[in-house]
Amino acid sequence: MNNHTESEENYIKALYYLGGEATVASGALANRVGAKGPSATQAVRRLASKGLVEVIPYKGVKLTLDGLTLAKHILRKHRLWETFLVEKLGFGWEEVHSIAEQLEHIQSRELVEKLAEYLDSPAHDPHGDPIPQADGKIPPAVGKPLQQFPQGSSLKVVRVEDAGTDFFTQLDLLKISLGKEYTLKSVSSFDFSIQLQAEEGESFWLSHSMSSNIYAISL
Amino acid sequence: MNNHTESEENYIKALYYLGGEATVASGALANRVGAKGPSATQAVRRLASKGLVEVIPYKGVKLTLDGLTLAKHILRKHRLWETFLVEKLGFGWEEVHSIAEQLEHIQSRELVEKLAEYLDSPAHDPHGDPIPQADGKIPPAVGKPLQQFPQGSSLKVVRVEDAGTDFFTQLDLLKISLGKEYTLKSVSSFDFSIQLQAEEGESFWLSHSMSSNIYAISL
DNA sequence: TCAAAGGTTTAGTTTTACCTAAACTTATTT
DNA sequence: AAATAAGTTTAGGTAAAACTAAACCTTTGA
Ligand SMILES: [Mn+2]
Ligand SMILES: [Mn+2]
Ligand SMILES: [Mn+2]
Ligand SMILES: [Mn+2]
């Protein structure tokens, strides 16, 4: 009941990402793990025989309680490792996801807890995503997309979507990072681009595709 | 030419452990990786097709230059991770080997080098074993077994053999660790046990099986 | 020298994990 | 209600990585 392959764990994590506790179509699952339909059908059957998921043929797949617990544990490891890579090793936030994709499968309860302690039991990873805690509780996802703030608001960036390398590069070019504070000067009603103004320094415009992946709280 | 499975890497590492650049019998290899003969024969054929080893049927297997390079790189990762686990996360030196056995397979050149830097480019792991450097060079293995010191020598413990959990537990009970200095008071000619005396504190006896796994340099 | 012993490889299975092509369900549209 | 489209599962393969049993080399000792 405890030893899972890397492939199994990736399916479990995908299931959690796509549906949480809800039912997910096998095609969506296959797509998420980068496999074809029949591979997912088979994989899901292996998982069912281990009690990690429930399958209703032609209807969909759902995590069991055991599956849910495992999913959150893997996500915990993924995000702790991302935090380690950025905070301790000095990686940029765009580089860590693919390495954490490997590290999340390392099996050692003691390692996870020692790592968490070493990082001061963080509640959020370098992208602002909540890190599931050892007891399975998940801190709330903070912030809302920049669009949802009215003109003139003071806000602080607290989270960014993992929208690929180019997105992160653009963030770096614009010197946007978690914790930065801005005033939302204006919103274009033509293309929904947004003008931000930092404490000191000139203001700049953000395209809709950029701003929709940036989350903030108001100050 | 660059992506290897965990199994492949374990065979390569075993080959290096058993023979270095020399030829190794398939049975010894199988034994080392915890598999049966036929599994090793097959594995070794896969490795040969990737140019990592040379096989002469019924004679033995040998690492190619590529294989040797890979072996040292895996060992580098193994020992860097062991160092990390002890130095940064506070693991005991008996706990780290099995976790490093997993971590050594994480693939990211950048991660290895950032980790090494974070640890101040150590030359030796927590057991005193040399860590292969990025360029493939291997620092000399330091120390010689306690038996080889004459009575009255002043010595410093610099390395211990990985002789299993019970050995490490015993070391901990006796408060022996790397860097500790002792005077070798006497050697029993009956059972070859050794009497050590720390700077301050009472002296104590070490059985031959203990002392033969402890390496030191003279001061 | 040649026959037994020991070690290695071959042959044939199993499980995981992927694939394509074909068959089958379900949902939608006429 | 029937036909089509979309999505899912079945059928049949392949490759890695392990196993057991049987055949095959090599070495050695009578
Ligand atoms: Mn990530
Ligand atoms: Mn993964
Ligand atoms: Mn080790
Ligand atoms: Mn290993």
Most B CBs within 10 A among A6, A82, A83, A85, hence the mutation to make, goes to A85
Is pLDDT of A132 > 70?
yes
What integer pLDDT is reported at residue B129 of this predicted model?
97
> What's the CATH architecture for B6-63?
Orthogonal Bundle (1.10)
Is pLDDT of A3 > 70?
yes
What integer pLDDT is reported at residue A200 of this predicted model?
82
Nucleotide nearest to A39 (CA to C1'): C18
Report the distance separating Cα B166 and Cα B176, nearest Å.
14
Please give the model's pTM, rounded to 2 decimal places: 0.94
For residues A199 and B212, the model is more confident at B212
Return the CATH number of the domain spanning residue range A144-218: 2.30.30.90
Tell me how far CA of residue B53 lies from CA of A7, B11, B18, B124, in angstroms. Answer: 28, 10, 14, 28
Phi, psi at A105, each rounded to 5°: -95, 0
Report the distance separating Cα A77 and Cα A5, nearest Å.
15
Mean pLDDT value across chain A: 96
B58 Cβ contacts chain D strand, under 7 Å: yes
Query: Which residues in A lie closer than 8 A to residue B118 (C-beta atoms)?
Result: 88-89
Nucleotide nearest to B26 (CA to C1'): C8
Give the distance from CA B152 to its chain's centroid: 29
Residues of chain A with CATH 2.30.30.90: 144-218
Phi, psi at A178, each rounded to 5°: -60, 140
B107 touches chain A (CB under 8 A): yes
Ligand 2 midpoint to CA A76 (Å)? 12
Report the distance separating Cα A14 and Cα A8, nearest Å.
10
What integer pLDDT is reported at residue B1 of this predicted model?
66
Residues forming a β-bridge with A87: none
Q: Does B91 contact A114 at a Cβ distance shorter than 8 Å?
A: yes
Nearest to B89 among A85, A90, A118 (CB): A118
Ligand 2 midpoint to CA A109 (Å)? 17
Report the distance separating Cα A207 and Cα A24, nearest Å.
33
Query: Which residues in A lie closer than 8 A to residue B88 (C-beta atoms)?
Result: 88, 118
Contacts with A152 (C-beta within 8 Å, 6 or more apart), sequence order: A183, A184, A185
3-state secondary structure of A38: helix
Is pLDDT of A120 > 80?
yes
Q: What average pLDDT does the segment A36-58 reach? A: 98
pLDDT beneath 70, residues of chain B = 1
DSSP state of A120: T
Residues forming a β-bridge with B56: B60
Q: In what order do the strands lie in the sheet with A194-198?
A: A144-145, A214-218, A154-160, A181-187, A194-198, A203-206
Residues of chain B with CATH 1.10.10.10: 6-63
Q: Determine how many CB atoms are found less than 10 A away from the CB of residue A148.
A: 12
Is pLDDT of A2 > 80?
no
Q: In B20-158, which ranges are continuous DSSP H helix?
A: 26-33, 37-49, 65-87, 96-103, 109-118
Distance from CA of B3 to the nearest CA of A (A): 14
DSSP state of B60: E
Using a 7 Å CB cutoff, list residues 93-152 of B near strand D.
none
3-state secondary structure of B62: strand
Phi, psi at B24, each rounded to 5°: -125, 140
Type of residue at B69: T
Residues forming a β-bridge with B7: none
Residues forming a β-bridge with B157: B216
Using a 7 Å CB cutoff, list residues 11-40 of A near strand D.
25-28, 37-38, 40
What integer pLDDT is reported at residue B204 of this predicted model?
94
- Which among A51, A3, A60, A52 has a CA at the least distance from the CA of A27? A60
Report the distance separating Cα B26 and Cα B60, nearest Å.
6
What integer pLDDT is reported at residue B200 of this predicted model?
82
B103 touches chain A (CB under 8 A): yes
What integer pLDDT is reported at residue A1 of this predicted model?
65
Measure, in angstroms, how far nucleotide D12 C1' is from residue A83 CA: 45
Measure, in angstroms, how far nucleotide C12 C1' is from residue B170 CA: 48
